Amino acid sequence: MSANGKVTHRHQFSGCGHILSKKSRNRKRKFRKDQATFKGDLKRFAPQIPYLL
């Protein structure tokens, strides 16, 4: 959860564990950040929200 109450999740390729040589520094740095959850995915994440707090 963000400070504004938005639901966040890890980036899809968090960790980005293989073939790092072809990925740029900026691309690998963006993988480390959390990403806001899309409105359509909130139904899937809704049961897990109490465990995120």
- Computed on alpha carbons and rounded to an integer, the radius of gyration of the chain in Å comes to 14
Tell me, yes or no, whether 46 lies in a domain. yes
Instruction: Say what the pLDDT of residue 53 is.
Output: 67
Tell me, yes or no, whether 3 lies in a domain. no
Tens of pLDDT, residue by residue, the chain (53 residues) = 788 888 887 777 656 778 888 889 998 888 888 888 888 888 887 888 788 66
Tell me, yes or no, whether 22 lies in a domain. yes
Tell me, yes or no, whether 1 lies in a domain. no
* DSSP-based three-state secondary structure for 48: helix
Residue pair 31/13 in contact (Cβ under 8 Å)? The answer is: yes
Alpha helix (H) residue ranges in the chain = 25-31, 42-45, 49-52
Give the residue numbers spanning the domain of 44. 8-52
Structural domain count, the chain = 1
Tell me, yes or no, whether 2 lies in a domain. no
Closest to 8 (Cα-Cα) out of 50, 31, 40, 42: 42
Closest to 49 (Cα-Cα) out of 14, 13, 4, 8: 8
